[in-house]
Amino acid sequence: MQVQHLNQPTETSPYCSQANHPLQGCQQVTSPSPSQSNSVSRMALPETSKYSQGSVLDGVNPDLASERQTASFSVEKLTVWLDGGVEHTRTRRAVVEAIECDPVFSRENQYFQSQNERYEAAVRKAVHLHKKMHEMGWTEDGPEFKYIYRAVSGDIAFLLHRIFKRSILMLGSDQQIAKWIPLATQYQIIGSYAQTELGHGTYLQGLETTAVFDMTTQEFILNTPKISAMKWWPGDMGRSATHTVVFAQLYIHGKCYGVHPFIVQIRSLQDHSLCPGITAGDIGPKMNFEHVDNGYLLLQNVRVPRENMLNKFCEVQPDGNYIRRGSPQINYFTMTTVRISLLADEVLTRLMKACTIAIRYSAVRRQSKLMPGEQEAKILDYQTQQEKLLPPLAAVYAFHSINNYLQELFDRGYREIQRNNFDTLPELHALSSGFKALVTQYCTSAVEICLRACGGHGYSMLSGLPSLYTNILASCIYEGENTILLLQTARFLVKCLKAVSTGQPVPPSVTYLAAVKPGKCPAKNKSDFLCSDIYTEAYQHMAARLIISTAAKLQDLTQSGVKKHDAWNLCTVQLAQAAKAHCHYITVKNFAETVEKLKTEAGIQKIMKHLCDLFALHGIFSNAGVFLHDGYISGPQMDMVTSSYLDLLAVIRKDAVPLVDAFDFTDKTLNSALGSYDGQVYQRLYEWAQKSPTNTQMNPAYKRYLKPLLHNRLSKL
Amino acid sequence: MQVQHLNQPTETSPYCSQANHPLQGCQQVTSPSPSQSNSVSRMALPETSKYSQGSVLDGVNPDLASERQTASFSVEKLTVWLDGGVEHTRTRRAVVEAIECDPVFSRENQYFQSQNERYEAAVRKAVHLHKKMHEMGWTEDGPEFKYIYRAVSGDIAFLLHRIFKRSILMLGSDQQIAKWIPLATQYQIIGSYAQTELGHGTYLQGLETTAVFDMTTQEFILNTPKISAMKWWPGDMGRSATHTVVFAQLYIHGKCYGVHPFIVQIRSLQDHSLCPGITAGDIGPKMNFEHVDNGYLLLQNVRVPRENMLNKFCEVQPDGNYIRRGSPQINYFTMTTVRISLLADEVLTRLMKACTIAIRYSAVRRQSKLMPGEQEAKILDYQTQQEKLLPPLAAVYAFHSINNYLQELFDRGYREIQRNNFDTLPELHALSSGFKALVTQYCTSAVEICLRACGGHGYSMLSGLPSLYTNILASCIYEGENTILLLQTARFLVKCLKAVSTGQPVPPSVTYLAAVKPGKCPAKNKSDFLCSDIYTEAYQHMAARLIISTAAKLQDLTQSGVKKHDAWNLCTVQLAQAAKAHCHYITVKNFAETVEKLKTEAGIQKIMKHLCDLFALHGIFSNAGVFLHDGYISGPQMDMVTSSYLDLLAVIRKDAVPLVDAFDFTDKTLNSALGSYDGQVYQRLYEWAQKSPTNTQMNPAYKRYLKPLLHNRLSKL
């Protein structure tokens, strides 16, 4: 890993030359830490308020500045490590800079926008990005691509257009690819992906849309025969898409062949009107994602030519003969890769932002006194506040490591699959399902904790935290409902346990099931619990115990005559718990190994070790029951865990601000009145609030309601 | 308790005669269950869709109807019990009916409204309600009053106007009351309550607004001397109020006398313009409460006459002499009563609604198969879904009981206080703080679980669940931040423990601390855990252990030389946990006692006993560590707990729909496409979505962005 040139100033982007006005343009980045440039943000200029002058221009709030003077490690070094190398850091910053100095991508008024306005802005940005990428020479295969989404920060249209393309590339024949991909790439058509229905989500076999083959015309006739069959939720479909891939039950000569994908045009390319037989629209307001036109789609005898069924793996021949070819398992694999990539791109990024906002705010918010007679204390100095914010911070680093691990595993798996070796698929599927559930659930709770830890101000949209929360919450639902995913992981674990007990080989991540031994945790005092072997073994023991005992219950039930499916249902609460425990164990083990490997990076290893310890001990402290249950950890040992855990809070607290600074979010990316680099939180809340339409527009209630009420019997006050 | 006349038809309200149109008016209520009348709701008429005809008018979804045929108890009997008597039920229904048949109170388009629109609607409703109450003969002291808020369902203005009045009644002299209360009651002025500042919330001593007595003019000069002193968050203040009670540090001759309340006019009664020296506005978008104009307020040398300081308990005489009289403890008591009343009015009602929506939806949503070859199963038949939804349902009944208990305790306390006996205040304060934290935290998590349990459709605003969640989340923050409240309870518990150990008397709710004995749980098999003595004692043991061990840690630290305040801080994570455990124990104990007393109501006692068992065992299952820690419950006993707990899920599942029907919410009150009485969820989602402005307004992006993009190089497709 290269860490040279870290303290050199980032070059100013040539694309920012138009930025003369500090309210909109980029800052010249000349300070050692590029983030610092953002401390003079668009809110920096004195405005109407008498309070505006001075405070922000004076620079960083001293309460935040002091936090940065005592960092026990190099923030820049940690940033580079997170990015995976100095080249990546440089590329990322360049992309962020180019995006942020372009006013089209501004999110300045996002919190004030209606659903219609957010949708319009998202389309504007998507269209502009298409142009911008061309100008900048960025391509979908280039090193910059993966940073664009982070830089734009979510509010952008046509993400489903990408899935549309991906599904054609994956499921289409060479001819189909040759026909559709150039059209989509040049935006001569806009695509969507219509799988989910009003009545069916994760259970795809239950989809009710039909595609009946009409041999006489060589067409498929598509219908959504009942209300629950209506396509519901697909993004980009409510108002934008001209085409979509519809998943429907294929019928030939009255026989059903299961779900297949069909390309269907839904809107005219001339005037965007709906095509014959199509009813489509927007599904209305949601908790977030207001910028996306999630849509509904009804099909009434919509005919598409035979060639519109994506036919790489199966085809309907002109005479109605059905042919399946190749392995469909590769599709299956696509779904798992999407789950893994969303963890880093969607989920973890949001928790990182929430931690940045909440921790910076907690370093400048002073409330009440720790010691009578002293100044009011920073709320970050309260143990209860540390207990809210530092475990999520440690989790960011834990999940960052596990993401890398999973990514590597999937890259390796992909290479195997290309060689037609599908052996790793069950393990990869189990891991992607379990970790999708574990990470989204954990991060969602953690963002909520961050929001609440900021008190009333966290509840203001201007803090940025409500949007982060409502956004990340969706990740628990999409790409597979979490409980169902955990049960898929559990099914894999139960199978592996059976294999192990009969001496058959099992995938690497579950070999520990073969080596379970009864016993007790050997820790003698609280410092023993700072040894990663001690806690990793405790997690391993606990996970194995839950898997083994639940599998035993399952077996007991079936042996006592309960039907197999009923028995499964009666064990699902515990099966889901076991699957979570398995993933938790892998996370701890992987984090400990990652820290171990950091030996060469002495500067950051120490703090990473603390974070790993905190993550592990917080997990034991919060799930004490499963560790105490069989006496592996005793009551007195649990007191040691608690003690070590609470001690660590005070240790990591000292580095809390540098640890979030290392995430290297610009103020514009955070878009938070509480989380900016300079910590001028009250100033920003006030200035941003003044821009709200509730202040810039006339009071709609005064003339109509308040005036008649008050003037009804006007007092002589 | 009177339960006669339960099956008689509710009388049709005379106020509904104008309601000829079924889309807006009231239904004649002639069915045995009044709720059923709402099954033909405003969505009932066939509209544009081909799907509209038939399905809804056909009546209740058979999947929901079947759930009601097997109820093990009388729903109406339970409703009456929840209401506290048949008279209350009748009054409540009459109020709901009168409100719902008045189109001004319609919430039909609420989910589509902007912040400005919601504010305007809330003011319109508040003004209309003033008139309506007069027409209906409803008064603030009357039996109808407490049902109005539930019937209007939240979106209404001028709630802070009530707090304004209450504070004058409580803190003002007789002359002040005589002057201001009639003005406020007749809405010749609109009041607010300005306590919280940008820089200070729960820690009131830290408020920075100043009121300096100017003897020469006999006025107070009010200032918000720095940005953090600005008043921030007060409701009704951003755009509506003409007056407010400002809390400020009183200075006389340079000496500070602490925080006092002052009546300040902020807007002209003639034209509503801001008064001299006043800067005020709206604080902008929030996670919810968009209908409330939470405001900011700056004061620059604003002068008010000496008489404007509320002076029941303290007064500044003309010569600047400061007099304190009476006991200020009564103020303190007001805050605690507000906390208790909000639990029932705000918090529990929202969880009841969320349970109703999620459970009804889970009975009509079919997804995947429990048994191959069978019909897809209702998701409520999955153990994991039961595990999500039934513990929150049981919690509703547990918290309903504890609310009654607290209310009674407070009524008794209030009577004592009127006799100048303040002995119960510490206990009441501790209970109100602890229960506010416990109940708001639990209910918030539970509403989130309900939302997620409905999958993607729960995430749609049209489900009603996102608003319930974002609304209830605020309750964790307002009226005292939960962690701080728990620590106040903990301080009380530590004091009581000290008293107990020296043989001093303690309040009734903590006498158990005196009777703690070591020992083991005597349960021998899983059915023993359905004995309320067994689990109540386990909770008692656990709470006492946590309080005692944390107090011991605190003492150890101070004895080892750690400063008292530092030691306190180092124990706060565990102190908060102990306070929660105490409240949890009281809740279980109280619920068990309530069930015990139901002996005469045999019809509902059985199901209530199941709910009590479920609530208690779910708590042990989810917090296993604290019960296992000292071996009070052993590992094998915990397996019995788990087994009994999971068995109960299947038992209560059979009554799940009747148990939420008993909450007796009308469809209009629920305002949920998923939760209506008739279970026609897909129909409603579709019809409601069509009304969204994203469908009724032109696509704002087409002409500007999509058309140029698509027509750029229009294909010959």
Q: Which residue has the tokens 């004030």?
A: A112
Q: Which residues pair with A197 in a beta bridge?
A: A231
Interface size A-B, in CB pairs within 8 Å, comes to: 390
Instruction: Determine contact: A713 vs chain B, CB below 8 A.
Output: yes
Q: Encoding tokens for residue B678?
A: 């008739």
How distant is the Cα of B689 from the closest Cα of chain A, in angstroms? Answer: 5
ipTM above 0.90, yes or no: yes
Give residue-wise pLDDT tens across range B569-580: 999 999 999 999
Q: Are A279 and A297 in contact (CB under 8 A)?
A: yes
Instruction: Determine contact: A672 vs chain B, CB below 8 A.
Output: no
Q: Which of B187, B456, B694 sits opposite A710 (nearest CB)?
A: B187
| Confidence (pLDDT) at B329 | 67
Region of residue B382 (phi > 0: left; psi between -120 and 50: alpha; otherwise: beta): beta
Q: Which residues pair with A302 in a beta bridge?
A: A222
| Confidence (pLDDT) at B36 | 39
Residues 6 or more apart whose CB falls under 8 angstroms from that of B589 comprise B536, B539, B540
Check whether A106 has a pLDDT greater than 80: yes
Neighbours of A14 (CB within 10 A): 7
Annotated active-site residue A479? The verdict is yes
How distant is the Cα of A673 from the closest Cα of chain B, in angstroms? Answer: 12
Q: Highest-confidence range of A390-394, B17-21, B155-159, by mean pLDDT?
A: A390-394
| Confidence (pLDDT) at A16 | 36
Chain B residues in contact with A552 by the CB 8 A cut-off are none
**pTM for the whole structure:** 0.92
Q: Which of B238, B694, B713 sits opposite A119 (nearest CB)?
A: B694
| Confidence (pLDDT) at B516 | 78
How distant is the Cα of A87 from the closest Cα of chain B, in angstroms? Answer: 34
The predicted model gives A167-188 an average pLDDT of 95
Check whether B29 has a pLDDT greater than 60: no
How distant is the Cα of A2 from the closest Cα of chain B, in angstroms? Answer: 41
Chain A residues in contact with B187 by the CB 8 A cut-off are 709-710, 712
- Element at A324 (helix H, strand E): strand A322-324
Cα torsion at A619, A624, A625, A628 (round to 10°)? 120
> Residue A35's pLDDT band (boundaries 50, 70, 90)?
very low
Give residue-wise pLDDT tens across range B646-686: 999 999 999 999 999 999 999 999 999 999 999 999 999 99
Sign of CA dihedral B4, B6, B12, B16: positive
In a 3-state reduction of DSSP, which class is residue B212? strand
| Confidence (pLDDT) at A87 | 97
Sign of CA dihedral B356, B357, B363, B368: negative
If one compares B480 and B714, the residue with the highest pLDDT of the two is: B480
Query: What one-character DSSP code corresponds to residue B8?
Result: S
Q: Would the CB atoms of A628 and B623 count as touching at under 8 Å? A: no
Check whether B123 has a pLDDT greater than 60: yes
- For A454-463, b/e burial (b = at least 16 CB within 10 A) is bbbbbbbbbb
Rg of chain A (C-alpha set) = 28
Hey, of A710, A712, A714, A716, which one would you mutate to test binding to chain B, going by the most B CBs within 10 A of its CB? A710
CA–CA separation, B410 and B567 (whole Å): 33
CA–CA separation, A239 and A225 (whole Å): 23
Instruction: Determine contact: B624 vs chain A, CB below 8 A.
Output: yes
Sign of CA dihedral B632, B637, B638, B643: negative
Instruction: Determine contact: B477 vs chain A, CB below 8 A.
Output: yes
CA–CA separation, A393 and B161 (whole Å): 42
Instruction: Determine contact: B706 vs chain A, CB below 8 A.
Output: yes
Residues 6 or more apart whose CB falls under 8 angstroms from that of B165 comprise B181, B184, B185, B191
Spatial strand order in the sheet of A295-299: A231-232, A295-299, A278-282
Q: Which residue has the tokens 């004649």?
A: B28
Q: What is the mean pLDDT of chain A?
A: 90
Q: Would the CB atoms of B281 and A695 count as touching at under 8 Å? A: yes
- Element at A249 (helix H, strand E): strand A243-252
Beta-strand runs (E) in A2-52: none
Instruction: Determine contact: B156 vs chain A, CB below 8 A.
Output: no
Instruction: Determine contact: A552 vs chain B, CB below 8 A.
Output: no
Q: Which of B368, B456, B623 sits opposite A233 (nearest CB)?
A: B456
User: From the centroid of its chain, how far is CA B91?
Assistant: 22
Check whether A499 has a pLDDT greater than 60: yes
- Element at A380 (helix H, strand E): none
Q: Would the CB atoms of A628 and B628 count as touching at under 8 Å? A: yes
The predicted model gives B290-309 an average pLDDT of 97
CA–CA separation, B133 and B128 (whole Å): 9
| Confidence (pLDDT) at A75 | 97
Residues 6 or more apart whose CB falls under 8 angstroms from that of B517 comprise none
CA–CA separation, A181 and A500 (whole Å): 46
> Residue B327's pLDDT band (boundaries 50, 70, 90)?
low
What residue type is A283 in one-letter code? I
Instruction: Determine contact: A127 vs chain B, CB below 8 A.
Output: yes
How distant is the Cα of B91 from the closest Cα of chain A, in angstroms? Answer: 29
Q: Would the CB atoms of A628 and B629 count as touching at under 8 Å? A: yes
How distant is the Cα of B575 from the closest Cα of chain A, in angstroms? Answer: 10
B527 half-sphere exposure, CB direction, 13 A CA radius: 0
Q: Are A473 and A443 in contact (CB under 8 A)?
A: no
If one compares A600 and A178, the residue with the highest pLDDT of the two is: A178
A560-566, long-range: CB within 8 Å, 24+ apart, which pairs?
A563/B371, A565/B370, A565/B371, A565/B372, A566/B370, A566/B371
Give residue-wise pLDDT tens across range B424-464: 889 999 999 999 999 999 999 999 999 999 999 999 999 99
- Stated length of chain A: 717
| Confidence (pLDDT) at B332 | 64
Q: Are B104 and B152 in contact (CB under 8 A)?
A: no
Chain A residue with the nearest C-alpha to that of B635: A629
Domains of chain A in start order, with CATH, are 160-326 (2.40.110.10), 331-660 (1.20.140.10)
Q: Are A619 and A626 in contact (CB under 8 A)?
A: no
Q: Which residues pair with A295 in a beta bridge?
A: A282
Q: Are B312 and B173 in contact (CB under 8 A)?
A: yes
Set A67, A208, A290, A479: catalytic member: A479
> Residue A716's pLDDT band (boundaries 50, 70, 90)?
very low
Q: Judged by CB atoms within 8 Å, which residues 295-354 of B form the interface with A?
A: 296
Catalytic residues of B: 479
Query: What one-character DSSP code corresponds to residue B109?
Result: T
CA–CA separation, B176 and A263 (whole Å): 75
Query: Considering only CA atoms, which of A471, A478, A479, A472 is closest in space to residue A289?
Result: A471
Q: Would the CB atoms of B296 and A686 count as touching at under 8 Å? A: yes
What residue type is A90 in one-letter code? R
Q: Encoding tokens for residue A265?
A: 């045009």
Hey, of B233, B375, B705, B715, which one would you mutate to test binding to chain A, going by the most A CBs within 10 A of its CB? B705
CA–CA separation, B518 and B501 (whole Å): 16
| Confidence (pLDDT) at A48 | 35
Q: Are A348 and A407 in contact (CB under 8 A)?
A: no
| Confidence (pLDDT) at A328 | 63
Residue B413 phi/psi, 5-degree rounding, is -60, -40
Chain A residues in contact with B490 by the CB 8 A cut-off are none
Give residue-wise pLDDT tens across range A363-406: 999 999 998 889 999 999 999 999 999 999 999 999 999 999 99
Q: Which of A116, A230, A459 sits opposite B694 (nearest CB)?
A: A116
Instruction: Determine contact: A1 vs chain B, CB below 8 A.
Output: no
> Residue B717's pLDDT band (boundaries 50, 70, 90)?
very low
